[in-house]
Structures are given as C-alpha cells and as structure tokens.
Amino acid sequence: MGERQYFLGSFHAGCSPRCCQRAKSPAAHRLGAVLYHSLPLSITFVIYVAVHICRVPKKLDNDRELREKELSIVISERDQTIAILSTKPKRTPAEQHDYDTVKKALQLLGKRGLIAMRHIRNHGSLTFGTYSPVLPPGLNLDDTLRVYAHCASEGLVTQNDNHRNNERTYAVSPKLEKVLDELLYEDTPTPATE
C-alpha cells in the first residue's frame, strides 16, 4: 500500500488517479507524462523547424537580391558622378561664341574662304603692297583680298595698314587660332597609316 500512496501522491499536471494507477512504476509514469505533454510540443517544434528550413534560404536570397539592387543603384550613381566630373565641357561660353562666329563666317565664304584661311594659318601673316605674297592655290589677288577683308571685318584676321609703304598685312587673330585650327581642318580626312 505504501507504493500505491507514492503513485497517488505524485500526480502530474492534468493527471488523473486512474492514469497513475495504470502505470507500473514511477519511471513509466513519468515517461508517459512527459510524452503526453511533450508530444504536441515536439510536433510543433518539428513543424517550426521545417518551415524555417524552407523559409530561411528564400529570405536570405531576397535579402541578397535587395542588397545587390541597392549596390547597383549606388554604383550607377557613382558612375554618373564620375562621368559628369571627368567630362570637361568642350568649350566655355566665350569659346562657343567664337566658334559660332568663325563657323558662320567660313560658311559664308565657302570653299575659297576655307582655302584662303588655311593658307594664312600656315604662313602666319601675309603682307600685300608693291609686291604680292604667295597667294593661296586657286585664288587670284582680288579674291584673296576680298576674303581677307571680310575675315578682318568678322574678326578672324587682324589687318594692319602701313601707309608709308602702302602695305596691308593680314594675320590670324591670336585669340581665334585654336578655333580656326579646329574648324579649318575638321573636314579634312586624316591620311591612312600603313
């Protein structure tokens, strides 16, 4: 009977006297009680683990994709900034004005003007007076003087008159040398190297 009292005094939570009477030993009773209460928890734990085993890689993959998108945005912004900072404007506003002026004047003068301006650019200055300088190829004296007079009025060349010697000297305007170099030879094909 002492043994039976032991069982009766050791009820577990949710245990009834009949449960404890069916147990053959206290160890079996405790094992049954543990299984009875832990089985739902064990099943819940197994389901929880299974769900997280399936869910965690997808979540990690989504996080990685999000980080990659953020990094690609940062990289593209950085590349745009580098491109903006590394591209130097081709011309300042003043240089652009000079470029437009020279281009308009050369278009107005046509092929003769282009030939005459290339000639004076190569020679630096030409002095007309008692003796004529070497003329541009394909142009006579009157055409050459007409082109240079128009260029002087547009500011492409400078004109200096020496009344004592009855001479007139035309030279490329120093501030427009760079623009003239660009425009005078932009249509000229570069020689092919072999």
pLDDT digits (tens, 9 = 90+) for 63-101: 999 999 999 999 999 999 988 888 876 778 888 888 888
pLDDT digits (tens, 9 = 90+) for 54-70: 888 888 889 999 999 99
Which range of residues forms the domain containing residue 125?
93-184
Would you state the structure tokens that stand for residue 71, as one six-digit string? Answer: 């990094």
Last residue of some domain: 88, 123, 146?
Answer: 88
Does some domain include residue 128?
Answer: yes
Half-sphere exposure in the Cβ direction for 1 (13 Å, CA): 0
Does some domain include residue 45?
Answer: yes
The sign of the CA dihedral 43, 44, 45, 48 is positive
Does some domain include residue 12?
Answer: yes
Last residue of some domain: 62, 88, 114?
Answer: 88
Does some domain include residue 192?
Answer: no
The CA-atom distances, in angstroms, between 188 and each of 60, 99, 115, 118, 191 are 61, 18, 12, 11, 9
> Is 0.75 surpassed by the pTM of this model?
no
Does some domain include residue 190?
Answer: no
The structural domain count of the chain equals 2
Per mean pLDDT, which range of 26-35, 105-114, 133-142, 169-178 is the poorest? 26-35
More confident residue, 51 or 70: 70
Domain match, 81 and 159 both: no
Model confidence at 193: pLDDT above 50 = no
Would you state the structure tokens that stand for residue 167, as one six-digit string? Answer: 């001479």
Domain match, 81 and 97 both: no
Does some domain include residue 194?
Answer: no
CATH of the domain at 155: 1.10.10.10
pLDDT digits (tens, 9 = 90+) for 164-183: 888 888 988 888 888 888 88
Segment 7-14 shows an average pLDDT of 49
Domain match, 66 and 135 both: no
The whole-number pLDDT of residue 67 equals 95
Highest averaged pLDDT of the listed ranges 34-38, 64-68, 141-145:
64-68
Compute the distance between CA of residue 185 and CA of residue 137 in angstroms, rounded to an integer: 16
Does some domain include residue 189?
Answer: no
Task: From 161, 158, 145, 160, select the one nearest 109 (Cα to Cα).
Answer: 145
Does some domain include residue 191?
Answer: no
Contacts of 102 (CB under 8 A, 6+ apart): 154, 156, 176, 179, 180, 183
Domain match, 154 and 133 both: yes
The SS3 call for residue 49 is helix
Domain match, 33 and 61 both: yes
Model confidence at 143: pLDDT above 60 = yes
Phi/psi of residue 171, each to 5°? -140, 155
